[in-house]
Structure 1
């Protein structure tokens, strides 16, 4: 059996490089996970904001009465104005990329924002563009 006195000096400190490599790997993994969670959260916020903008836009309708009964018709200008008001009070720095009314009772809002990494933004200096689409339909009950 080899005792502690018989171990040569060339074996001392051989664990130190392994510890350093594992510490660097742990730090890199922590940074990647933190940025991934931040990106996921930013996309979910953008999705929620697009849904809120579309919901507000679908409230911009007029009730039209004709011989066939009452129906609703979305006013595109009013729908855009209401969607922009939702974005104006939002804590997220986003803008309304597009709002469309594919039919007289449906509003579709496209919201765009840019995500910047929490840490190490040196690797992604311009950020990542995020887009979300929200659709809402207004209807008359009864």
Structure 2
């Protein structure tokens, strides 16, 4: 399943990417969202009832989310059939740009991360599009905590 999320759903879009879903975000114009979704077969994620109705009239897949709460939005998507299985880095996409993430050797990131990070960590990942480097630091640990909560302590 591929998505395009409207501007009200930035946090959800980033998390969908972390779970491996190809999710476009950052398109501000509703007409462009509709055009892209139709052309690329993407499901629109929105909180905008007008946009959802326009999509339905055009035969474009759409999920109208009712909640402002990120956790409740995840539950709503589960009812739609979206699975939240394996968090970063197994099949993740870059939360910043939606690019694919791959494992990177320690030598590959030398000089591209702070020296303390280079010395402390041995596991690195890099986005194949924007070059963002990831490692299992504090933010990673916080993501894992949120993931456990989202998946009910699995």
TM over 0.5: no
The structure number with the bigger radius of gyration is 1
Structure with greater strand share of residues? 1
TM-score range, shorter chain: under 0.3
TM-score (norm 2): 0.20
TM-score (norm 1): 0.21
